[in-house]
Amino acid sequence: MSVDIKVPTLGESVVTATVAKWLKNPGDAVKADEPIVELETDKVSVEVSASTDGVLEAQNVPEGAEVEVGTVLATLKPGKAGAAKPAQAASASAAASAPAQEKALVETAPAKASSTSAEKAPAQAFPAATKLLKEAAISPETIGVGSGKGDRITKGDVLAFIENNGAKPAAPKPAAKSPRTDDPREERVRMTRLRSTIANRLKEAQNTAAILTTFNEVDMSAAMKMRAEFKEVFEKKHGVKLGFMSIFARACVAALYEFPAVNAEIDGQDIIYRPFVNMGIAVGGPNGLVVPVVRDIQDMDYAEIEKSISTLGRKARDGGLKLDELSGGTFSITNGGVYGSLMSTPIINPPQSAILGMHKIQERPVAVNGQVVIRPMMYIALSYDHRIIDGREAVSFLVRIKESVEDPRRLLLSI
């Protein structure tokens, strides 16, 4: 009995993927846990492996097709390769003779063939396309030959038909935008899936949440002094450098426990509060911005936080992040200062309700005890969802972070 190879669960809020590359072809022998196909999600690439030894019977989805969780990607004939190959050959022979038999039926009995074709038409479309055809009340015969493997109809074929042929009543469209004339010196490059997803999610956040940003500034003198004094001993003992991110992370944890709404989430008409903090740390990877999550950061000391951030940052740069390392965040930090940003208004990462923005440390004159002095200052910003977090909470939260970073002893004394 054949075994179906399906699209696995892809992670939080990820429901579709693109078939990036087939690693095995029909007739190839595969071993249990051996990768068969590579999927590209909105966040990372995922390899789907065989569940048992056997021979790959068929590829149900072509490269480049978009698939949903649970879609059958391929079928596998369990057993040893030698025993399964004859059956595979018979299957391939039957598949090869099918078009000839169908052609003969069409030539000898056109009316009957037409009726039979209409009954079997849905089998000529991929699962996602079949679902869309039913929703739009379109017969597969109306579209005809598809662009997928074996002339099967793809989801893209159905969408193109709807757009070009008006299969469903379309809402009035604004005046068409005149085509853009490219300068010959310009280069047009198609947006990657990751970049497209980032764009859509950021716009979704703006359309859904009532985003507001509040600012403050931090005197980094004490934190820089502590770092300079202990960085060599810290690195020698723990094997990782002491950075400012762990200091801000600990300050955020303390503030989040004091103001739990900042760590909460809106779900319909409910508010979900959490007794833990899964902190997302924004990292610039080769394909765009990703936000790996440090789980239960409230239980970590400075060394454990620095090690976790270092490991996740390296994986992000190497493209080795796993799905579970990108999901489940409750609050995020982004540091534009590493790129020289002096001030910005970060956008929250749904379904989270807030994000802290760190920026460049810059020496500037400030008034201290009635005297103008030069201090290393950093602007910090908190963007938050005003639907769940009041202005008083947001401002107080940011002030608490400022106080903790300007005097790290407060974190040790929990004050």
Residue by residue, DSSP assigns 39-99 as: EE-SS-EEEEE-SSSEEEEEE-S-TT-EEETT-EEEEEEES-HHHHHHHHHHHHHHHHHHH
Residue 143: is its pLDDT beyond 70?
A: yes
User: Bridge-partner residues for 344, per DSSP?
Assistant: none
Residue 147 reports pLDDT greater than 80: no
Q: Could you check whether 3-92 and 194-413 share the same CATH topology?
A: no
* Average pLDDT of the residues in 62-73: 86
Nearest 5°: the CA angle 188, 192, 196 is 105
Sequence-ordered alpha helix ranges (H) in 188-301: 193-208, 221-238, 244-258
Q: What is the pLDDT of residue 86?
A: 42
Tokens 């789980």 label which residue?
A: 295
User: Strand ranges (DSSP E) for 241-311?
Assistant: 265-267, 270-272, 279-281, 283-285, 288-290, 293-294
Q: Report pLDDT for 92.
A: 44
Q: Which amino acid is at 249?
A: A
The mean per-residue pLDDT over the stretch 114-134 comes to: 57
Tell me, what's the pLDDT at 347?
A: 92
* Residue corresponding to tokens 């169908």: 102
Bond prior to 351 in cis (omega within 30° of 0):
yes
Over range 204-212, report the average pLDDT: 86
What is the dihedral angle through the alpha carbons of 168, 170, 171, 176, rounded to the nearest 10 degrees? Answer: 170
Confidence of residue 117 (pLDDT cuts 50, 70, 90): very low
pLDDT of 403 reads: 96
Task: Give percent above pLDDT 70 in the chain.
Answer: 80
Per-residue confidence at 120, pLDDT binned at 50, 70, 90?
very low
Q: Do residues 348 and 211 lie in contact, with contact meaning Cβ atoms separated by under 8 Å?
A: yes
User: At residue 118, does pLDDT exceed 50?
Assistant: no
Has residue 82 got a pLDDT over 60?
Answer: no
Q: What is the pLDDT of residue 169?
A: 43
Q: Which two tokens stand for residue 340?
A: 């020289």
Distance from chain centroid for Cα 302: 28
pLDDT digits (tens, 9 = 90+) for 226-266: 999 999 999 999 999 999 999 999 999 999 999 999 999 99
Give the strand pairing for 331-335 and 279-281.
parallel
Beta bridge partners of 211: 385
| Mean pLDDT calculated for residue range 213-220 | 97
Rounded to whole angstroms, how far apart are CA atoms 353 and 347? 10
What confidence tier does 272 reach under pLDDT thresholds 50, 70, 90? Answer: very high
Point out the least confidently predicted range of 134-138, 360-364, 392-396. 134-138
Greatest mean pLDDT range, 96-105, 202-211, 232-241: 232-241
Q: Which residues pair with 54 in a beta bridge?
A: 30, 78
- In whole angstroms, what is the distance from residue 385 CA to residue 235 CA? 38
In our burial notation (b when 16+ CB lie closer than 10 A, e otherwise), range 151-186 reads: ebbbbbbbeebbeeeebeeeeeeeeeeeeeeeeeee
Q: What is the pLDDT of residue 116?
A: 41
Rounded Cα–Cα distance for residues 71 and 105 (Å): 32
The answer to whether 28 is a known catalytic residue is no
Cα 121–122–127 angle (5° rounding)? 150
Residue-range domain boundaries for the chain: 3-92, 109-165, 194-413
| DSSP category for residue 380 | E
DSSP assignment, residue 111?
H
Q: What are the pLDDT digits (tens) for 355-386?
A: 999 999 999 999 999 999 999 999 999 999 99
pLDDT beyond 50 at 316: yes
- Are 413 and 255 a contacting pair, CB within 8 Å? no
CATH 3.40.50.10490 at 194-413, yes or no: no
Question: 3-state DSSP call for residue 379?
Answer: strand
Residue carrying structure tokens 């200091």: 247
Helices (H), 263-322: 302-318
pLDDT value of position 159: 74
Rounded to whole angstroms, how far apart are CA atoms 3 and 36? 13
> Which pLDDT value is given to residue 320?
81
Of 116-125, 247-256, 284-293, 296-305, minimum mean pLDDT range: 116-125
Catalytic residue among 33, 301, 318, 390: 390
296, 299, 324, 386: the catalytic one is: 386
pLDDT of residue 199: 79
User: Beta strand pairing status for 29-30 and 45-49?
Assistant: unpaired
Q: CA–CA separation, 322 vs 292, rounded Å?
A: 9
Element (H, E) at 157: helix 155-165
Place of tokens 């989430």: 265
At residue 278, what is the residue type?
N
At 63, the pLDDT band (50, 70, 90 cuts) reads confident
Q: Does residue 386 have an active-site annotation? A: yes
Per-residue pLDDT band for 308 (boundaries 50, 70, 90) equals very high
Strands 354-358 and 331-335: parallel
3-92 CATH: 2.40.50.100
Output the average pLDDT for the chain: 81
